[in-house]
Chains A and B, each alone.
Chain A
Amino acid sequence: MPTRRQPAQSATTNADPKAAPNARAAGGRRASAKPDVRGVGPRGRISADDPRVTLEQEIGSDLYEPIPPFPIKTEREGEFYSLRDGEIFLNIGPHHPATHGVLRLVLKLSGEQIVDVDPVIGYLHRGVEKICENSDYYHVIDQVDPLEYLSSLFQEWPAVMAFEKLMDVEVPRRAEYIRVLTGELLRISSHTLYMGFMALDLGGLTPILYSFIERDEIVEMLASITGARMLFNYYRIGGVNGDLNHEFMSRLGDWMSRAGKQAEAITALLNENEIFLRRMRDVGTMDRATALRYGVTGANIRACGVPFDLRRAHPYSVYPEIDFNIPTREEGDSLARYLMRVDEIKESIRIIDQCLHQMPDGPIMAKLPRLLRPRPGRAWAAVEAPRGSLGVYAMSDGTDQPFRFRIHDPSFMHLGVVPHMLPGNLLADTMAIVSSLDPVMGGVDR
């Protein structure tokens, strides 16, 4: 462990860590900073959100300082924001090409080794739960749609499931099959994109191009029944919005003849790539107990050897009628998490094949009134989204708006385990670990 002090020109180095280990709390660092010539904001500081900060103006170095400009509140925060000898802060994000959106990671480094990390989230927070509590039950579906923007059907699914429980609606079987079919298509698209982005974060540009070819075919297919390429707004309380049509079926049949071909092209590029393997293997290892206690779900927990998949662990929709396996791996490292996605794509293709053979005829919507007023009650529904179990907790008070609408997002939980996984690794592995967990910031911030 290197103990040499970092040079003092780094804006992030504490002035005198020995004299005042918690200089922020003592107010020492801020008091000695040079006075701000641009004028002082209402609370005595200028933040990045200040409209007066523009590109033309010179921005002081303290704008990007990782130390928060307010008093420390909690035990853990005080522990994190005090530096010991030889440690420095490094701020990554919120706008950084490898952070998958606006994620900010404040790293505490000793040399090249990560000592601690404080993920800062909330940059995309729009208060969707509050908006949903103020819109009626039909509107909720399109409010939640853009949250997990890479797999937006999975965001609608638990919401409509929870509302169906509240209203005692029975969904026609054909609608359930259509939901499973479209959901699994989107899972393939999401996992293929993950594989490409994983390689992109490690410096490989080519795989992402193949992923977008696969994703494009799938979203065009879904666009022919939903009318949109990205935010589908397709599931409805009591069914789905439109039946399968000729264009969808011909595109799907065409695609099934070479299903997963682009994903295989990516695996051919990556699975025997020595650089990729060495950067992934034994990096960011998570054990079984940690995964369970930190609320990790989805492919990330199955990469630790826990066969927890809600499609089998708590069956919903028509998954009990479909034959598929739950692949698991024992290693728990970044490579295992990547390979889990490869395996799941193959299982999803099997599910789609069975859906097409078993799809019954019949209606696709249950009969529902225009204004929904479920009786007072509570409902919880969760589905296995590409990133893990995505749940919705809805409370009704008898009016046409949900009284409480809570979205539980798996990416949120996966970022919560990052402070446990990163310490001890090297700075260069940060992105190999964070992006192998596959967070989508739209879902994290809600």
Chain B
Amino acid sequence: MDRTLKNRLEVRLAGLTRGPVRQRYDETEIRVSPGDAPKVLTILHDSIDLRFEILADLAGVDTGAEMQVVYHLWSPASDDWLRVVAEGISRDDPRAPSATFLWPGAEWLEREAYDMFGIVFEGNRDLRRILMPADYLSFPLRKDFLLGDDASRTPGAGVRHSERAQVPATPAGGDPAVRRAPAS
């Protein structure tokens, strides 16, 4: 846990982060609004005392209530991974600014996030499907895309809030968790 990184982040990103800087094991997490993400990433990349020069990962997340874009960054000036969570993206019309102006390599990562979640990255000039066929219509990693097979019938099935939302209204006295149990 890099305590000095927390101080440096609080100074450099004053007013741009949502909530406190969280730290656990070797990870430091900040949360920003998607509109501020390009500004925050530029500061992180360019500041002489932060120097987060490697984009380790860019992932989309569907929490069931909103979309998020999660960046993981590496810097020679810190022992921690930095996680930047751009939160509060609407599920109905997910849009986020692109990070390709800093890391051209983010182009493919954003294509994948678009392919899996439908998040439209504004500024990415090649935002088309990458893993799924070009004429595919769904976004498979969204939480309302359910698998029909028995992989989801573990003892935990029916507990997850996003799946529970999909279970049709039960008759009186019915228990949603029971309805999802395997037939055998």
Contact = CB atoms under 8 A, between A and B. Distances in A.
A190 interface: no
Q: How large is the interface on B (under 10, 10 to 19, 20 to 34, 35 or more residues)?
A: 35 or more
A393 B70 contact: yes
Contact of B128 (A74, A134, A399, A403): A74
B125 A74 contact: yes
A293 B127 contact: no
B81 A417 contact: no
A276 B161 CA distance: 58
Contacts of A400: 154-156
Contacts of B104: 293-294, 420
A401 interface: yes
Contact of B160 (A377, A393, A397): A397
Q: How large is the interface on A (under 10, 10 to 19, 20 to 34, 35 or more residues)?
A: 35 or more
Contacts of A395: 61
Contacts of B49: none
Contacts of A412: 108, 112
A424 interface: no
Interface in A320-342: none
Nearest to B127: A74
B147 A130 contact: yes
B10 interface: no
Contact of B155 (A68, A371, A445): A371
A314 B128 CA distance: 33
Given A131-B151, A295-B55, A122 B25 contact: no
Contacts of B129: 122
Given A76-B126, A416-B108, A314 B81 contact: yes
A393 B81 CA distance: 12
Contact of B130 (A68, A121, A380): A121
B57 interface: yes
B74 A313 contact: yes
B57 A70 contact: no
B151 A125 contact: no
Contact of B132 (A125, A129, A415): A125
Given A121-B130, A416-B105, A314 B160 contact: no
Interface string A122-142: 100101011101111000000
Interface of A: 43, 49, 68, 70, 73-77, 121-122, 125, 127, 129-131, 133-136, 165, 292-297, 308, 313-314, 371, 373, 377-380, 382, 389, 391, 393, 395, 397, 399-401, 403-404, 406, 408, 412-413, 415-417, 420, 445-446
9 contacts: A75-B126, A125-B131, A135-B151, A295-B106, A296-B105, A314-B26, A380-B81, A403-B160, A416-B108
Given A296-B105, A379-B25, A406-B57, 13 more contacts: A74-B126, A122-B130, A131-B147, A294-B105, A314-B79, A378-B27, A380-B56, A380-B72, A400-B154, A400-B155, A401-B160, A404-B62, A408-B59
